[in-house]
Amino acid sequence: MKKIGLALLAVVLTAMSGTSCGQFENQLYGRANVSVNYTDLGASNPLAKDWQLNSNASRLGFRGSYQISETLEAIYQLEIEINFNDHISSTARGKDRIENRNTYIGLQGSFGRIIAGKYDSIAKTVGREVDRFNDQVLGDIKGFMEGEDRVSDLVLYTTPSWKGFSVSAGIITDDDSSAVDDGGGLAEGSTISLDYSNDFVRASIVNNDDIDKQDLTRVMSNFYIGATEIGFIWQQAERIDIAADEESWFISAEHRINDNWRIKGQFGITEYSLLDNKDKQLAVGIDRIISNDVFVFFNYVQNDRDETVSSHTDFSTAIGIQVSF
């Protein structure tokens, strides 16, 4: 990956040095999403019944472009996650207060876009389209569904859109999470998707080959009906290193009541072949919209773990605020 990234950087710098008319366009952006949660992890952790302040994947970043020619520009993004708390949460994952998020360099033009770096997998990107509680404690679909990966050592190409259709394809190099040694080959994992979008629907089918030790197929659709969105995911995932697979179903909805209020909900289920376990997620919430960049939210999330040895229910109630710029 380092060689590919350096090669792409060399191409970008060479192209930039060959023009005197280019201009940089840079943007500072960010999002603070902070909530107070009461979380009960049930029988899985009888002591974990308390109030917490959670930083739900709050972030700060720089992104920009350099116009190389009329049809070609260099692009970059540097993004970090900022945690406002010290304790371990579902989004902080017990890591440092500052953590790398989507960070890349690339080129885009009439040929499409190519980037190299650390970036959300295609499956995660399309899942975010219908996950109404993305990055929330227990509410994010990563709590019961595989495929929500942020991939390092990624080279990702996306074609231009043609009549609403586009294709994305990526390879993962030097991937320590790969279950199969490629014997020194370029790609240790790969991903590809076919996407379609118009004013009424967005749909994608994604296939992962040996990413995070899994082969995965995900089908996503999101329908826009007036002030309402209805989303759907079906997914089949299979572990490569052990004999285990899982099947997931997910449906979500969001309705804009008026300029000030939005309601949302989602339900998902994953069935595991190993030990016949089953996970269910139910989440409901309401948002008070203050402006395009600020809203206050109230969420309730319940996860049911139906396991062979024991079953338990985890739940979280949250009130918080999100500010973006």
Residues 223 and 233: beta-carbon distance below 8 Å: no
User: Dihedral through CA 239, CA 233, CA 138, CA 41, nearest 10?
Assistant: -60
Confidence class of residue 116 from pLDDT cuts 50, 70 and 90? very high
Q: Is the pLDDT score of 260 beyond 80? A: yes
Q: Where are the beta strands (DSSP E) in the chain?
A: 24-40, 49-55, 59-69, 72-82, 98-100, 103-109, 112-120, 150-158, 165-172, 189-197, 201-211, 214-225, 228-239, 245-256, 261-272, 278-289, 294-306, 311-324
Q: What radius of gyration, in Å, describes the C-alpha atoms of the chain?
A: 21
Tokens describing residue 261: 């209020």
CATH number at residue 243: 2.40.160.10
Q: Is the pLDDT score of 181 beyond 80? A: no
Least confident of 89-93, 127-131, 258-262: 89-93
Q: What is the mean pLDDT of the chain?
A: 87
Burial class from Cβ neighbours inside 10 Å (0-12, 13-18, 19+) for residue 22 reads middle
**In the predicted model, what is the mean pLDDT of residues 15-29?**
72
Length reported for the chain: 325
Selected residue with higher pLDDT from 172 and 186: 172
Chain centroid, CA 296 distance in Å: 22
CA dist., res. 166 & res. 129, Å (int): 16
Paired with 65 in beta bridges are 25, 75
Local structure of 232: helix, strand or coil: strand
Confidence class of residue 236 from pLDDT cuts 50, 70 and 90? very high
- DSSP letter, residue 162: B
User: Dihedral through CA 138, CA 277, CA 249, CA 283, nearest 10?
Assistant: -30
Burial class from Cβ neighbours inside 10 Å (0-12, 13-18, 19+) for residue 17 reads exposed
Write down the pLDDT at residue 299: 97
pTM: 0.86
Q: Is the pLDDT score of 16 beyond 70? A: no
Residues 206 and 158: beta-carbon distance below 8 Å: no
CA dist., res. 143 & res. 111, Å (int): 37
Total number of domains in the chain: 1
77-102 pLDDT per residue, tens: 999 999 887 654 444 444 556 789 99
pLDDT over 70 for what percent of the chain? 83
Write down the pLDDT at residue 89: 44
134-168 pLDDT per residue, tens: 999 889 999 899 999 999 999 999 999 999 999 99
Write down the pLDDT at residue 187: 72
Helix (H) or strand (E) holding 13, with range, is helix 2-17
Write down the pLDDT at residue 91: 42
Domain that holds residue 111: 2-324
Chain centroid, CA 107 distance in Å: 22
